[in-house]
Amino acid sequence: MKDSVKLFIDQRGLDLRALITEGDQILATAVLPGPLGSGSLQELVAALVASSGRKPEHAHLLISNEQVKFSTYRLQEMPLADIEKIVQRSMTTATSEKEPIFRLTPLAPQQDKDVYLAEQIPREALDRLRQLFTDARLPLTFVSTGLQANLAAFAPQRENIIQAQAIFDISQDAVAAIFISPTDILHQEIQLIPETEQGTGDADDAGRGLKRRLFAILNVIHGLYSQYMLTNPLAPVEKVWLCGPGAEIAGLDASLVDAMDVEVAAFDLLAGRVEASRSFTPLAGLVGAKNPVNFISAAPGKSLPLNSKTFMQVAGSLVALLCLVVVGSSFLTVSRLKKQLATTQSELQPLQVAAIADQGRAASLRFLQKLDQTAPPLQAIFKEIADRLPREIQLDGINLRQSDEAGTLEVLAVTRHKTPWENERIFTALMTALDGVDNLECKQNPDIAMLRVGEEKMIKIKVTCQTTSVKGGSVQ
């Protein structure tokens, strides 16, 4: 996997020190005058990009000592989580910050009590720094302190300590001292270097100025050492390590050997690889460290609500969008159906008008159609009547009335009146004969009348029947 390109910036002191790395490889270094601002940051990045040819993907920062609040806590032995809660409560009370950003570093126990050094970075300062880097389109992913950087840089050396050793990280304006044993941090302190008088500018004056500054640094270191010896008389310092830009002053090592009678060594992780390498030691310690202390990861409370808020906003927007889509599609469907209905109605209207106008014509046409289909088969009826008539009865006439509703056929018949009666069932025989004729229904009773023709008496019978069509049913 390709290593990411990182930018490391040391904000401490008057100058900004930076190096750009790819994996463990240092590509370039740069030193520019501080303080850290948007202009100086862009200038620093531009210089490093120009010299390395690579653009950093994210930034690591060693925050200035002024922005770190140090406090020491002496507590009974208890789990670290409980200690953190106590410290957090204490800081909240002192600073009114709900979730203070801090890290605890265990120091050497004193009088059966655990001692912790708390380094707190105000949230406001951290937010400002993150915004500064965000504006420069470079995400700030790591923030640490000089103490943590030096401890990380010195970690490989700790196993060689017998009693105690000291690291003096000397910047232009202060000396940070760390007295360290194989197991504990015995003492840590930062002291400002008093300002020395500026010379007139000639060579002699410059030389005197350097000496004055050397003496000032020696004085501060001596003071720190004396302070340490007062509190830790049983752990004398066997070796002193010097790093930071102030350690580059000529004659400091020798003067320190003379003054303190201890072994002095350069704490220089980049010796021979870059110019003024001792000033980059804390940064180099961060580059090589496996799990350096990061103050940004200790501030998750800030980003989570922001993410959560963003998530809620996105979710709310999606829900609103969904609602809009659902409501919109519903209204569109109804609107489309209304249009469709209007179209159908407009198509139906002329059909309805035409149907009303054609009502009479349609009825007339149906009448004509029915007329041809429902005519009673008169020939067949007459033939059957003639065939079925009993011998004693003669057909006297037929009257047919055919209307729209019904067809009526009157059959007039005569028979001789004889006494005694020869065929008493003559009337029923006639009715049966007529009833059996197809397409003829004879349900009414016959009309019977007497008729005298000359000397002969005749019986006249009239039977009224209904005609039906071939297809069945009365003719209508």
Partner 1 sequence: MKQTILFCLIGLLLTGGIYLNRQQEAGRLRAEETRLQADKFLLQQQATEIAELAKQLTGTTDVATFTEALYSCARRTGIRDHEVITTRVNAEQQARGKRNRSKGATLSEQQLEVVLTADFRRIAEYIDQVQKLGHHQRISKLTLTPGDKQLKATMVINLYSLGEPYVR
By the rule CB under 8 A, 470 interacts with partner 1: no
Closest CA to 295 of 139, 85, 130, 143: 143
By the rule CB under 8 A, 344 interacts with partner 1: yes
Q: List the one residue from 92, 226, 310, 330 that touches partner 1 (CB under 8 A).
A: 330
Structure token pair of residue 419: 């006494």
Q: List the one residue from 14, 80, 320, 449 that touches partner 1 (CB under 8 A).
A: 320
Stretch of 69-77, 104-112, 251-259, 311-319 contacting partner 1, by CB under 8 A: 311-319
Q: How far apart are CA 67 and CA 190, in angstroms?
A: 13
Spatial contact of 378 and 400, defined as CB atoms under 8 Å apart:
yes
Stretch of 35-43, 46-54, 55-63, 322-330 contacting partner 1, by CB under 8 A: 322-330
Q: Of 53 and 301, which has the nearer Cβ to partner 1?
A: 301
By the rule CB under 8 A, 340 interacts with partner 1: yes
Q: Of 231 and 399, which has the nearer Cβ to partner 1?
A: 399
- Render 179-225 in DSSP notation, one character per residue: EE-SS-EEEEEEEEPPPPPP--SSHHHHHHHHHHHHHHHHHHHHHHH
Closest CA to 416 of 398, 433, 392: 392
Query: How many amino acids of this chain bind partner 1 (CB under 8 A)?
Result: 60
Q: Of 192 and 341, which has the nearer Cβ to partner 1?
A: 341
Q: Of 257 and 470, which has the nearer Cβ to partner 1?
A: 470
User: At 64, is the secondary structure helix, strand, or coil?
Assistant: coil
Q: How far apart are CA 247 and CA 241, in angstroms?
A: 10
Q: Of 50 and 354, which has the nearer Cβ to partner 1?
A: 354
In this structure, the number of other CB atoms found within 10 A of the CB of residue 401 comes to: 11
Spatial contact of 59 and 139, defined as CB atoms under 8 Å apart:
yes
Q: How far is the CB of 99 from partner 1 (least distance, A)?
A: 18
Q: What are phi and psi for residue 57, nearest 5 degrees?
A: -95, -35
Q: List the one residue from 50, 192, 206, 327 that touches partner 1 (CB under 8 A).
A: 327
Q: Which amino acid is at 54?
A: R
Residue the block writes with tokens 């209304």: 338
Q: How far apart are CA 22 and CA 24, in angstroms?
A: 6
Stretch of 119-127, 232-240, 241-249, 375-383 contacting partner 1, by CB under 8 A: 375-383
Q: Of 215 and 367, which has the nearer Cβ to partner 1?
A: 367
By the rule CB under 8 A, 399 interacts with partner 1: yes
Stretch of 52-60, 277-285, 288-296, 367-375 contacting partner 1, by CB under 8 A: 367-375
Q: List the one residue from 205, 404, 447, 456 that touches partner 1 (CB under 8 A).
A: 404
Q: What are phi and psi for residue 421, nearest 5 degrees?
A: -70, 130
Which residues inside 4-33 make contact with partner 1, applying CB under 8 A?
A: none
Q: Which amino acid is at 44?
A: L
The helices-and-strands tally (H runs, E runs) of the chain is 11, 18
Q: Of 45 and 411, which has the nearer Cβ to partner 1?
A: 411
Q: How far is the CB of 101 from partner 1 (least distance, A)?
A: 24
Stretch of 191-199, 216-224, 295-303, 399-407 contacting partner 1, by CB under 8 A: 399-407
Q: Which amino acid is at 240?
A: V
Q: Of 44 and 413, which has the nearer Cβ to partner 1?
A: 413
Q: Of 25 and 476, which has the nearer Cβ to partner 1?
A: 476
Q: How far apart are CA 43 and CA 398, in angstroms?
A: 132
**Which residues, in sequence order, are bridge partners of residue 448?**
461
Cis peptide before 282 (omega within 30 of 0): no
Orientation of helix 252-260 relative to helix 203-231, angle to 10°: 40
Binding characters for partner 1, 379-398, by CB under 8 A (x = yes): x--xx--x--------xxxx
Residue the block writes with tokens 């009224």: 464
Q: How far is the CB of 323 from partner 1 (least distance, A)?
A: 4
Which residues inside 89-108 make contact with partner 1, applying CB under 8 A?
A: none
By the rule CB under 8 A, 352 interacts with partner 1: yes
Q: List the one residue from 361, 391, 443, 452 that touches partner 1 (CB under 8 A).
A: 361
Q: How far apart are CA 457 and CA 446, in angstroms?
A: 19
Cis peptide before 139 (omega within 30 of 0): no
Stretch of 31-39, 119-127, 223-231, 347-355 contacting partner 1, by CB under 8 A: 347-355
Q: Which residues bind partner 1 (CB under 8 A)?
A: 308-309, 312-313, 315-316, 319-320, 322-323, 326-327, 330-331, 333-334, 337-338, 340-341, 344-345, 347-348, 351-352, 354-355, 357-369, 371-372, 375, 377-379, 382-383, 386, 395-404
